[in-house]
Structure 1
Amino acid sequence: MASCADILRSEFPELDGEVFAYVTGILHSSGADFESVDELVEAVGELLQEVSRDGKDEGAVREVCQRLFNALQLDEGRAQRCSQVLLDAPIQLSQITDGYGERVLPGGLTGPRGSRRPPMVDAKKLEKAEARLKAKQDRRMERDSTKPSGPLVLEEATASQAASKKETRMESSGKNKSYDVRIENFDVSFGERVLLAGADLNLAFGRRYGLVGRNGLGKTTLLKMIASRSLRIPSHISILHVEQEVAGDETPALQSVLECDTTRESLLREEKELTAKVNAGRGEGTEGARLSEIYAKLEEIEADKAPARASVILAGLGFNAKMQQQTTKEFSGGWRMRLALARALFARPDLLLLDEPTNMLDVRAILWLENYLQTWQSTILVVSHDRNFLNAVATDIIHLHSQRLDAYRGDFENFMKTKEERLKNQQREYEAQQQYREHIQVFIDRFRYNANRASQVQSKLKLLEKLPELKPVDKESEVMMKFPDGFEKFSPPILQLDEVDFCYEPSHYIFRSLSVSADLESRICVVGENGAGKSTMLKILMGELAPVRGIRHAHRNLKIGYFSQHHVDQLDLNISAVELLARKFPGKAEEEYRHQLGSYGVSGELAVRPVASLSGGQKSRVAFAQMTMSCPNFYILDEPTNHLDMETIEALAKALNKFRGGIILVSHDECFIRLVCQELWVCENATVTRIEGGFDQYRDILKEQFRKEGFL
């Protein structure tokens, strides 16, 4: 493509030197400011039309400006392509004399003498054009100055706690031997947002606590503050927080778990070194006694039983015998998270912190984990959205709300009943006190100026002052979700796989002769062990993966919305949710993007914060808002409840039930499955089987497998 200078010379061969220098100077210094051809026409078009000797009309000049604009866009450093005369500043033609003599240009440059009179240029028009251009540059500089430079820096969580002289004294003296955790009068903040204020957390040793609350209130942050000991916890209490996946290296999975028992590993290493010395004849005579001590300690901690115990934990979490011998680098992120959980269970810390442990597990592994944790001897604090899991595991519930923590005895169902009753009593007490206050106030107002009743009025005023200040119940806003209908009557088949074979490697088929179908009234849940092919089947149904053999048929008017198990990977975390939708669906008003996000609970300042600063559940809501913006008539959802709080899961279930279109989803959340799905597909043995008895029958099948394997 020709440069800007070439275009000017070819289209305006008679262009005066000063005008040419002025135009190329503008294109050189301000080319990056032109976001459209209209802006370029506004800057130089009128001038070019005025100086054109062949009388180019407005349309012809605009075509030339379009060519100039295209030339500017061709290269990242657009200015280099257009600069023929590099000046310190654009030439101000309004200051140039229109005489025949030598003309002085800005910067002391001397222009050539010309025998022709230069074109007459309206100085006022030039000044206006320069003013518009300067204003455009100022706006751009202001916009650029507000953009963050470098990588996005997120706010950090902080914790503070009132000092307790008694606890400090006991800790320093070493007299505190209790394994109970008491954290009193502490605050937790995330940036400028206060998550907890003056809160108390008491964890009795040996009990299992479920931490519940709405998304974004600080449950995960609280676990991190405890794990990092930003909150005071006695040093003799060991803490393990299952947060990050195991690093991939050459260590076999089973050995990776065994290495968590540092005492056993240290003793075995010393025993090996001492034995080698004795066998080589390099001993000093004390090795025999030390070896006897080591053998006694190994026997005391039942070191010989450790491999079997580690193997049972791994098997329960889905690692078969072959997988247990594979190196950690061979596993995906999800399996390495399971490995991190296995290490924590094997290490048996005094305080085990689990954040949404069921997110990485299939139904079979969840049932095993429920049974395993019921026999846990030390303390557990677990964040979970899974009602059934909490009912099976938790002995207590801690509710995070209104910047405080409220404790309840019993499982999740008991918590819900007790909380409801507690809130009703609180509201009744508040209303009764309000009536009592009004009754006293009426007396005070009536006899305030009656001298004979002055002492009684004073007494009533003191009574009002002494009344405790009760507050009305803080009702949490109801979570609302709505999936826009895209329902049309389609003639079947709507979505179908017929005799499909699929494999990633020729030696290992994921599916053979797979035949399934769905319509616009389907409510199907797909279950099965991790690695059985659930996500693969969804991608074949969507047409993202092509069968090796067989046919995928989809109705021509079918519009599929897809929610990925790893939806966060599909979001740009450095921009806001509003910007995210604007890029995905350009051309709409900001209010429309905000309304769409608000439909999924992402409103107010949440909508304009960087997505990276949102909680896991809030990111999921942004993904839902993005998925439904185009109004699909069929949804394929892969683990949609991961990271969502219970209220949002219920709202999601209600929205899906009201949606007039087809649904296929993969989920391990028993409560959610029961709320939404009418049909259950089990993915196993390279095919999919429909279970007539639904989830109850599937659960019974798994329990029978556990009995045969000795887990129950």
Structure 2
Amino acid sequence: MSSSTEIIKRDFPGVDDSVLDYVNGILEDDDGFNDCDELYEAIGDLLQGLAFDKPEESIRQTCEQLFDLIQSKRVDAPTKNKILNAPINIADLAAEMDNVTKDMKSIWVVERNGPNKVDSKKLEKAEQKIQQKIEKRQENGKVGQTIVPKQQTATASQVINKKDSKLESKNQNRSMDIRIENFDLAFGEKVLLQNSDLTLSYGRRYGLVGRNGLGKTTLLRMISEKQLKIPEHISVLHVEQEVTGDDTRAIDSVLECDIERTRLLSKEKEILKLVNSGNSDAKLTSELSEIYAKLQLIEADKAIAKASIILRGLGFSADMQERPTKSFSGGWRMRLALARALFSKPDLLLLDEPTNMLDIKAIIWLENYLQNWPSTLLVVSHDRNFLETVPTDIIHLHSQRLDIYKGDYKQFEKTKNEKLKAQRREYEAQMAQRAHVQEFIDRFRYNANRAASVQSKIKMLEKMPELKPIEKEIEVKLKFPDVEPLNPPVIAMNEVGFAYDSGVRIFDKINLSGTSDSRICIVGENGAGKTTLLRIIIGQLSPQSGNVTLHRGLRVGYFAQHHVDNLDMNKSCVGVIEEDFPGKPQEEYRRQLGSFGISGPLALQSVGSLSGGQKSRVAFAKMCMAEPNFLVLDEPTNHLDLETIDALGIAINKFNGGVILVSHDERLIKLVCKELWVCGNKTVQSVEGGIEEYKKAVLREIESSV
């Protein structure tokens, strides 16, 4: 008995002799395994089929012992020269080998009972992996090398209008409208826009929509960085970076955006210092009067009240407005950046997903505020309610071009669908006409009496404009794992109380529960404890009082609010998942990514080169590798496009496990919510009437505070 046989029989008692011979054949006849991973690829699935209850780690240990055995035999084995002592009939040998192969194949079609039944598909897969291993060795020595995804950058090119260029050079261009003509946009080798035109009329509010990864954020960045040229006299502000944390008060951080007011107040302070020191120069008095006149003209006395209103609308209480900026988290500093932009009122304001950092109350305030925005606004948003409230026009980015539609998102959808129907009818009518003309040509091509008519029809066909078929956008589908529902109770919180080490009390006597049928949506103002509640449920935080009871079979899939930020941006999508779930075939990682719309070459791109929505899908795929039977999702819609948000709602409703969801996206809440919980005042309350009733209460609160 060979040592390999002993190892296999020891780890897999009762193994069939036929299977044992097959495995030994692989170990002895192969031209050499470079490492244990290659050996595991060759026979791992086959061994797993012998004992389905064995963990993967145990199978790998068996493979390691077998690999060590092979290595020791290579070192000890002497070189043998085989000498033929008789002629060989090749035809007879081939026939004999064919019979052996048939005999071997017959082994696997025998019906066997018991736990040692071998799956023929797994055997076939093992044979394919051996072949793949051999082919990989021949790929110019590339086996084992790690391919580092190349980081890509955005580029833009543009044809400049000569007339506008001359006016610009003479400083005579006073138009506040923006025209960016005949420009291209690319990200690395991927063309995002080609021969595009963009016109932004002053005073209009534009919503920029389109699928994830098509270039919406890149377009905003190219405009703000002036890589796409716009008139120099037009001020542009892109809310992209959070405010730097220092000792400046929040209210002062907003006020200092008014550069003219800040300059005049600084000058006033200098002059008053000179006057108070005894300087009686009449010029100082005259200059001081001019400063006061200018301050009055720009209504500087109302600036503090205006800044305070904006901050309060975005969730900053009176106490928070007095706090230094360094005391705020990243999300609140982004709100400060938004407040600064709203206060400074640039000629062109660029906003990228402004609702991502806001709770429902702040979103409602922002929607109302932007409806009276005086200059030009270009905003990327995937919040459907926001797009139906704020924009006067919708810009649709698709098929490497931009189409502009009058009206809000609801009107855009209606007009776009009508346009597509008309284009489809026109295309079908032309194809029918072409077929009719071609039929006439084919029928009478060789008829001398109809030669003139045939020539006329040929010319007609040549002059007919060639219409392209209507491109259908690929339907977005997300799929959570198929799991068995758990018997209730799944999650139960009894008299739970929680406070942070600082002594700030968050919850008192919370009694909540969730089952496999739960579709619970949690809303509330920022800081009310929504994320804290989720972290208590999943066990990341321990309550000071009460207890949390979890089903023993519970597997929680947690999508954190900043889950995307924790992905390794330098790794490929496949590599990110493989890092946490090593040892599986690459096909399995790609299949998992494909369940969330990351397929084909996209799965091999670096995470850093993806759009925000695509990164979120990678995070979803990674979360679901452990096959959770209960989902806890904290702001999952951030960066997702409208179609993906709808697909997420459908996937949640099809999921067999329970769901607890924190979201400010009104459409998603309406799609999935069976139970609405509101966080606030150290408690969590269930609201009758759902999101509509909660919105009414928020509107009443906003109106009473104005």
- Partners of 1:278 and 1:248 in 2: how far apart? 35
Contact preservation (8 Å) 1:33, 1:140 = no
Match of 2:657? 661
Match of 1:258? 255
> 5 Å matches for 1:685-700?
685-700=681-696
Structure 1 residues 451 and 228, CA gap change in structure 2 (3 angstroms): same
2:396 pairs with 1:399: yes
How much has 1:263 moved relative to structure 2? 0.9
Contact preservation (8 Å) 1:33, 1:137 = no
Match of 1:248? 245
> 5 Å matches for 1:156-235?
156-235=153-232
How much has 1:154 moved relative to structure 2? 1.8
The structure 2 residue matched to 1:445, chosen from 442, 445, 448, is: 442
> 5 Å matches for 1:485-496?
485-490=482-487, 492-496=488-492
Specify the SS of the correspondent of 2:237. Answer: strand
2:303 pairs with 1:306: yes
2:624 pairs with 1:628: yes
Using the size of structure 1 for normalisation, the TM-score is: 0.80
Structure 1 residues 288 and 462, CA gap change in structure 2 (3 angstroms): farther
How much has 1:399 moved relative to structure 2? 0.5
**Amino acid aligned to 2:503:** S
Structure 1 residues 272 and 650, CA gap change in structure 2 (3 angstroms): same
Contact preservation (8 Å) 1:561, 1:628 = yes
- Partners of 1:41 and 1:521 in 2: how far apart? 52
- Partners of 1:437 and 1:300 in 2: how far apart? 69
How much has 1:171 moved relative to structure 2? 1.4
Specify the SS of the correspondent of 1:185. Answer: strand
How much has 1:48 moved relative to structure 2? 6.4
How much has 1:604 moved relative to structure 2? 0.5
How much has 1:444 moved relative to structure 2? 2.2
Specify the SS of the correspondent of 1:505. Answer: coil
Specify the SS of the correspondent of 2:302. Answer: helix
Contact preservation (8 Å) 2:150, 2:606 = no
Structure 1 residues 463 and 48, CA gap change in structure 2 (3 angstroms): closer
- Partners of 1:293 and 1:699 in 2: how far apart? 48
Match of 1:595? 591
**Amino acid aligned to 1:607:** A
**Amino acid aligned to 1:596:** Q
- Partners of 1:646 and 1:191 in 2: how far apart? 25
Q: How many residues are aligned here?
A: 591
How much has 1:555 moved relative to structure 2? 1.0
- Partners of 2:150 and 2:304 in 1: how far apart? 44
- Partners of 1:459 and 1:283 in 2: how far apart? 97
How much has 1:447 moved relative to structure 2? 3.0
Contact preservation (8 Å) 2:137, 2:143 = no
Contact preservation (8 Å) 2:207, 2:395 = yes
Match of 1:468? 465
- Partners of 2:647 and 2:323 in 1: how far apart? 41
> 5 Å matches for 1:269-280?
269-280=266-277
Contact preservation (8 Å) 2:559, 2:633 = yes
- Partners of 1:314 and 1:160 in 2: how far apart? 39
How much has 1:147 moved relative to structure 2? 4.7
Using the size of structure 2 for normalisation, the TM-score is: 0.80
Contact preservation (8 Å) 1:241, 1:353 = yes
Match of 2:474? 477
- Partners of 2:67 and 2:325 in 1: how far apart? 57
Write out per-residue CA displacement over residues 108-130 of structure 1, whole angstroms, 9 at most, x where no aligned residue: xxxxxxxxxxxxxxxxxxxxxxx
How much has 1:278 moved relative to structure 2? 2.1
Contact preservation (8 Å) 2:157, 2:184 = yes
- Partners of 1:477 and 1:368 in 2: how far apart? 35
- Partners of 1:622 and 1:456 in 2: how far apart? 61
Specify the SS of the correspondent of 1:276. Answer: helix
The structure 1 residue matched to 2:386, chosen from 389, 392, 396, is: 389
Structure 1 residues 138 and 588, CA gap change in structure 2 (3 angstroms): closer
**Amino acid aligned to 1:513:** K
- Partners of 1:619 and 1:146 in 2: how far apart? 22
The structure 1 residue matched to 2:347, chosen from 342, 345, 350, is: 350
Match of 2:668? 672
Q: Which has the larger radius of gyration?
A: 1
**Amino acid aligned to 1:515:** N
Contact preservation (8 Å) 2:486, 2:553 = no
The more displaced of 581-590 and 547-556 is: 581-590
Write out per-residue CA displacement over residues 365-384 of structure 1, whole angstroms, 9 at most, x where no aligned residue: 00000000001111111000
Structure 1 residues 245 and 430, CA gap change in structure 2 (3 angstroms): same
The structure 1 residue matched to 2:544, chosen from 548, 555, 558, is: 548
The structure 1 residue matched to 2:679, chosen from 683, 686, 707, is: 683
Gaps of 5+ in 1: 1-31, 51-135
2:638 pairs with 1:638: no
Match of 1:84? none
**Amino acid aligned to 2:413:** M
**Amino acid aligned to 1:639:** E
Specify the SS of the correspondent of 1:629. Answer: helix
- Partners of 1:372 and 1:544 in 2: how far apart? 38
How much has 1:318 moved relative to structure 2? 0.2
Structure 1 residues 313 and 513, CA gap change in structure 2 (3 angstroms): same
How much has 1:577 moved relative to structure 2? 1.5
Structure 1 residues 313 and 185, CA gap change in structure 2 (3 angstroms): same
Specify the SS of the correspondent of 1:335. Answer: helix
How much has 1:201 moved relative to structure 2? 0.8
- Partners of 2:181 and 2:163 in 1: how far apart? 13
Match of 2:28? none
Specify the SS of the correspondent of 1:201. Answer: strand
> 5 Å matches for 1:62-461?
142=142, 147-148=147-148, 154-282=151-279, 284-461=281-458
- Partners of 1:138 and 1:520 in 2: how far apart? 51
- Partners of 2:595 and 2:677 in 1: how far apart? 31
- Partners of 1:160 and 1:562 in 2: how far apart? 42
Structure 1 residues 608 and 308, CA gap change in structure 2 (3 angstroms): same
- Partners of 2:461 and 2:36 in 1: how far apart? 70
Structure 1 residues 602 and 196, CA gap change in structure 2 (3 angstroms): same
**Amino acid aligned to 2:683:** T
> 5 Å matches for 1:494-509?
494-505=490-501, 507-509=503-505
How much has 1:324 moved relative to structure 2? 0.3
How much has 1:450 moved relative to structure 2? 3.6
Specify the SS of the correspondent of 1:647. Answer: helix
Specify the SS of the correspondent of 2:669. Answer: helix
Gaps of 5+ in 2: 1-33, 38-63, 79-135
How much has 1:583 moved relative to structure 2? 2.5
How much has 1:560 moved relative to structure 2? 1.0
Specify the SS of the correspondent of 2:500. Answer: strand
Specify the SS of the correspondent of 2:460. Answer: helix
- Partners of 1:397 and 1:301 in 2: how far apart? 33
- Partners of 1:246 and 1:661 in 2: how far apart? 40
**Amino acid aligned to 1:266:** R
- Partners of 1:163 and 1:460 in 2: how far apart? 43
> Considering only aligned residues, what root-mean-square deviation do their CA atoms show, in Å?
2.3
Match of 1:647? 643
> 5 Å matches for 1:569-588?
569-588=565-584
**Amino acid aligned to 1:272:** K
- Partners of 2:610 and 2:236 in 1: how far apart? 26
Specify the SS of the correspondent of 1:349. Answer: coil
How much has 1:33 moved relative to structure 2? 9.1
Write out per-residue CA displacement over residues 652-684 of structure 1, whole angstroms, 9 at most, x where no aligned residue: 100111111111000000011000011100000
Structure 1 residues 146 and 482, CA gap change in structure 2 (3 angstroms): closer
**Amino acid aligned to 1:502:** F
Structure 1 residues 245 and 604, CA gap change in structure 2 (3 angstroms): same
